[in-house]
Amino acid sequence: MIRHNVDLSRLMAFVQDARSDPTRARKTQVVEGVWNCGEGPQFRAQIGFEGGNLVAESDQPAAQGGGGRAPNPMLYCLLGLGSCYAATFAAVAAMEGVEIRALRVRAEGRVDHSRALGLSADPPIERLGLTLSVRSPASSETLQRVRDQAWERCPAVYCATNAVPLDVSMKVLP
């Protein structure tokens, strides 16, 4: 059964699989890219996923030394945050039987570039925000409950609101 583009049969099978063996809920996801030392967008990554591959490019705005030829890295962060939250909201609504006729998410971030420029130690991200626009016959209380459950379950929201261990390693190539 598919409810507002969420395949509930597959989702519930995954829930049951993870319930019987919690290690099956853990997945390692990887994006590997290359910095372009020549012309064109500064960074390029081949992103493999279940249905194929996608090439994503990133470039800083001209004022930050790039050419503005592709989305900057922060826009990809906002894309990840917004799309992850939308997917979680839609999945929670589907699992709860809440009909969603339309869902739009606006993700925004207030960025202070002074730290990246070596001018301050101020936090580089002053705030993040998500604005949902939902069309549904469900009550506002029901939609608030779905919103709150999506907040609790969304991996991107968790990353944005909790300190997550980050390791940076380096290999020096010959």
Token pair for residue 11? 């989702």
What's the pLDDT at 127? 96
pLDDT tens figures, 104-140: 999 999 999 999 999 999 999 999 999 999 999 999 9
What average pLDDT does the chain have?
A: 96
What's the pLDDT at 173? 95
Rg of the chain in Å (alpha carbons): 19
pLDDT tens figures, 69-104: 999 999 999 999 999 999 999 999 999 999 999 999
Residue 53's pLDDT band (cuts 50, 70, 90): very high
Reported pTM: 0.93
pLDDT tens figures, 162-171: 999 999 999 9
**Is residue 103 a contact partner of residue 90, using CB atoms and an 8 Å limit?**
yes
Which domains occur in the chain, in start order?
2-16+72-161 (3.30.300.20)
In the three-class reduction of DSSP (H, G, I as helix; E, B as strand; rest coil), residue 3 is classed as strand
